[in-house]
Structure 1
Amino acid sequence: MPRKPRSIKEEMDRLTAELRERGSTWIEVAEEYRRRYRLNARQAFREAHRLTQERVVEQWRELWPSEPFSVRKLGSWEAWPGLTGNEPPVAGLNRLARIYGCRACDLVDGEDHTGSDQNANVPRRRDIPTTPGKLTLTFSDIQDILPTQPLPGPTSPGEPRDREFEQLVHAFTDWATQMNRRDVLALIGAAATSAYVSPLLDRLDAEESQRLRMAITDPNRVDDATIAHIQAILRHSMRQEDVLGPQATVATVLAQQNLVLSLLSAGVSAHMRGRVLSLLADIHRCTGWMLFNLNDFRGADYYYAQARDAAHQADDDAMCGMVLANWSQLATWRGDPRLGVEHALGALAWGRRAGSKMLTAYACDVGARAYAAVVRRSAKAERRKDHSRCFRSVDQAERELHGADEGDPGARLVPFYGQGQYLSTKTGCLLDTGDPARALEVAGAATAGIDPTFVRNVAYIRLKTAQAHLDLRDIDQACEELGEAARLAERNTSPRLARSVVETREKLSPWNRTRSVAALDERLYTARLIA
């Protein structure tokens, strides 16, 4: 017989562990806390997770470093509707819901007036079909729509693919039971096609395809033309990703990664090994970039580390600089701008060593973003220094960009970077350092200067413009720009972009009842960005 808990804390620890072991959801665990300990919803969810208020604040700051939050504010939200509490805004509830793994409405102790609805307790008429409580989406339903092509890449005889496939399908089935049947089948069909079909050889003619097959059979046959073919496919995949988002291209890039790894493991000639390693570094870098846009930040971090190692082995200075610049952007986005500065300085050093003004400009660009984020977190005494460093980096990026010539050795790695993208970064820095009026002026030139085929980049300058209007309390224009960003998010389906759109919308919560925000919500709902 288990001993009696010595304290309420130990009792709660044991309760959460037991309920989760039985398979209870966080909503069910919190409901038991509310019943047993007479807590309100916000207190119950925090205690269910066995989190202190300090730990919740830490998680908030990790996820949203630009949004100030404190133990005192959380405590006032938890105390509401008591006399000492403050009503939490919808945006705050949405963020707490993400931390607690629930819905925002689960965190509100609202009144239930469904009893006043005359139809609430009346059986439905026969001419109104009832919605089944659970869909019967079967294994065969999904299996029938999956493509029949084998997975790309070599398969060892003992590899348990059939079992993994069955587990994957059953996982999809469990997830899909609460969704519309037709939409689920279409979604899984598209996802399965992306995972199975790799257009690695689609754009090669017969002679080029034969060359690649011979290289795979005998790695000593790898030559400059073989490398150029794979590079061309990689460049094409990245351009597709710029337009459509990472879901459309990540399978192709992973297939190329498997191909290049197989060539290296089989042994390429000594004089080609450096070029193949440089190609592998670029593939790892592109994979990291796509995972970044899929919001898989840990995966992106792993692949950037792999890319850096391969670039060092290849003695490729330009690739080292580009990898570190991408890595800097990831670190800053994840809320670690000091690491972002560190990576940016490394990128700057390697870009200069490579003799590339384009890579030097881009390193200064990502460094400026990192310094701008540092400004938000700095003590008052340090902010002026970090502000100066930020805009010195901005100015240096412009000088290097204008000094680059057509033969720049790093230009192929930054086809997206030009005057428009530089101005977009400057807009963000002005916003982060508290100058929305100036940011709005620069944003107009940035929007006009960005190549429209880089859809996500255009969407992000629209989001920055919306933020500038919001800071200036021009809500109608903020909604217009945010709606345009949402339209672009339908074309480039990057989850990172979609999240950015939704998080910007949450900042409009104080104006939820205005016509412009209501119209914006209709656009976001149509774009399937909000429920």
Structure 2
Amino acid sequence: MSEGRSESLRRQQACLAAELRSAGKTWVEAAEVFQTRFRLNPRVALRAVRGWSQAQAAEEWNRRWPHEPKTFKNFSYWEIWPGKSGHSPSQDNLVRLAQIYECSVADLLTDLPSFRHLDSAAGTAVAVSSGSTSGAPSGIIMPGEAETLLHDLLGRHTGTEAGAPQTADVTGLFDRPEEIDFGKLAQVIVMWMQRIPHSSARRDMLGKLTAALAVAAAAPLVELPGMADRANAASVPEVSRFDPATVAHCEAMMPHLRKQGDVLGAASTLPSALTYRRIAEQQARVAPPGLPRDRAVAVYAELTQLAGWLCFNMGDYGAAQRLYDDARAAAHEARAVELVTYVLCTMSHLATWQGKPRVGIDHAVAAASWADQSGSPYARAYAADVAVRALTADGQAARSQDFLDREYAALQAAMSDQGPHQSWWYFYDESFYWSTSAQNALKFHPAEKVLAATDKALHLRDQGNLHERSFRLLFRAEAFARQQNIGLACQTITEVVELTQVNSSRRIEQRVRELRRGLEPWRRTRGVRELDQAIRAYRSQPAD
């Protein structure tokens, strides 16, 4: 890295540290942000967040313990460890480092592996209960529990060696969809990926997980009437009688299917979504007039939109368009105004992605009109969001900023609304707004503004939506590339490549290829060479 770029990075880190501290973040919390954004290990992050060089950290040490002086080389060795050229700090030195950085010894070692999963008495719980005395917030998955769950999913009890488990029979996990938390599963995937040091072992582990869960994906279909004994779950029996319980089951499965798509990818989710769509279509056909039929048609419309969204992410834009058109017509037929808004928003997104931003603007304007009629602040906010993306793609800086302001105002109303809202808005929150702000900033503002927005987007939302997380990381990578921080750009793209072995999509693949082409002038650098190796390794199997 040149001296100019190094100075720019130090200024960027100093500004971020000041912002985090002014927001009330502890040194440990701020260092966690540094670890994610700058790809630092915890020992480096806890120093960098204070703005200290290794020499300055050594000066702080020597001020406290002049009888045991250290130099910047000592700090360098400790920070490189457990790399081959590093030296492990002694227990006494770790305690003193923790004192300097005002953290715990454990905070200095979070990048090291854990082997709790090897304990035969380890449980399979993945979340700290509300009555936990561990000091961790309720609902947060701890690393040990994460490893235990993932080993169980992959066949920890099959007698295979750790790190090379066999695919397990996990269909039982899907018998009751309400018992599956895909958000927690995604956190497990991310943490496990980060804690396995060797890419080949990590790739093998994630591949087995994907295969095991994809096989289980259609299991809930056996709960439907007439499906239990069918060898092919995608084959739906004809029905002649309306069954409210079947419609209710389809409704209950939609959030499950959406989150499954976010975590495991479109290809593993689409067969089930299409099957449920066919079931809902049959129920709509035989439903009696009035509310029962409107409800069944609305369920069909939502499942059709979901299937279109999955096709969109798989790169089948023609099928996505046809499904969206069908979903919009069905939503209108059911007089489901808020659903009409949502479908129009997704149509706008599709058009903008295909390089047709003016068509995207048309759909966004129509969505805004229906959103006003729906009375839903979520509908108004998301309609403004897709307008921002279409206007940004069309190069309209002033209008895109105007709609970004409208989105923020509607978002505040949505966040203050304590009443129930439609399940399909599960993905939309303040982090989504900041993600769109980052996309807008890539077009019209300096890279620093992009990075600030992606920081907020990534840290306001958990890691449960691997799809959204991947795109936000790619925004960050593009910003790093514009700063000519090629190493950080490549590391960030590599993280996406690894993450999306479990959940990839043609759209993510397309963005990775575009960003890699932009790095061609630096193809001989170490960072780009390592990125190319990761792409070859993790894309050896077909993507979704």
TM-score by shorter chain over 0.5: yes
Question: Secondary structure of the residue that 1:451 maps to in structure 2?
Answer: coil
Bigger CA radius of gyration: 1
Q: Match for 2:317 among 294, 297, 304? A: 297
Residues 429-453 of structure 1: per-residue CA shift (max 9 Å, x gap): 0102243221112111111123311
1:228 paired residue number: 248
Once the two structures are TM-superposed, the CA of residue 495 in structure 1 deviates from its matched residue by 2.2
Query: Any conservation in 1 of the 2:255–2:423 contact (CA below 8 Å)?
Result: no
Distance 1:229 1:430 in 2: 42
Contact 1:354 1:409 in 2 (8 A): no
1:49-64 matches, within 5 Å, as none
Q: 2:239–2:282: 8 Å Cα contact kept in structure 1?
A: no
Q: Find 1:278's aligned residue among 284, 294, 298.
A: 298
Higher relative contact order (CA 8 A, sep 6+): 2
Q: Provide TM-score, normalisation by structure 1.
A: 0.57
| Per-residue CA distance 1:194-215 (angstroms, 9 max, x = gap) | 7998434346799x99xxxxx9
> Alignment partner for residue 399 of structure 2, among 389, 402, 405?
389
| Structure 1 position 497 matched with structure 2 position 508 | yes
State whether residues 304 and 323 of structure 1, in contact with CA within 8 Å, keep that contact through their aligned partners in structure 2: yes
Paired amino acid for 2:310: M
Map 1:59-458 onto structure 2 (within 5 A).
Answer: 198-202=218-222, 217-220=239-242, 222-223=243-244, 225-375=245-395, 386-404=396-414, 405-407=416-418, 410-458=421-469
Query: How far apart are 1:474 and its partner, in Å?
Result: 1.2
Relative distance call for 1:204 and 1:453 in structure 2 (3 A) is: farther
Partner of 2:196: none
Partners of 1:421 and 1:449 within 8 A in 2:
no
Unpaired stretches in structure 2, ≥5 consecutive residues:
1-206, 230-236
Return the match for 1:519 from 530, 535, 541.
530
CA deviations 1:279-312 (Å, max 9, x no partner) are 1110110011000000000110100000000011
**Aligned mates of 1:398, 1:445 — CA distance in 2:** 14
Structure 2 SS opposite 1:452:
coil
Q: 1:279 is aligned with what amino acid?
A: V
Letter in 1 for 2:468: N
Contact 1:243 1:453 in 2 (8 A): yes
- Residues 475-486 of structure 1: matches in 2 within 5 Å? 475-486=486-497
Which whole-Å CA distance do the structure 2 matches of 1:336 and 1:406 have between them?
A: 34
Q: Pick which of 410-419 and 366-375 moved more.
A: 410-419
In 2, are the aligned partners of 1:489 and 1:498 still within 8 Å (CA)?
A: no
- Tell me the distance in 2 between the aligned counterparts of 1:413 and 1:239: 10
Deviation larger for 258-267 or 306-315: 258-267
1:462 and 2:473 matched: yes
2: CA distance, partners of 1:434 / 1:197: 42
The TM-score, its normalising length taken from structure 2, stands at 0.56
1:66-94 superposed Cα distances (whole Å, 9 cap, x missing partner)? xxxxxxxxxxxxxxxxxxxxxxxxxxxxx
Query: C-alpha separation between the residues in 2 aligned to 1:434 and 1:308?
Result: 35
What CA distance in whole angstroms lies between the structure 2 residues aligned with 1:491 and 1:485?
10
2:265–2:503 CA contact under 8 A, matched in 1? yes
Unmatched 5+ stretches in structure 1: 1-186, 210-214, 376-385
Q: CA contact under 8 A between 2:255 and 2:424: conserved in structure 1?
A: no
8 Å contact 1:318–1:409 — kept in the other structure? no
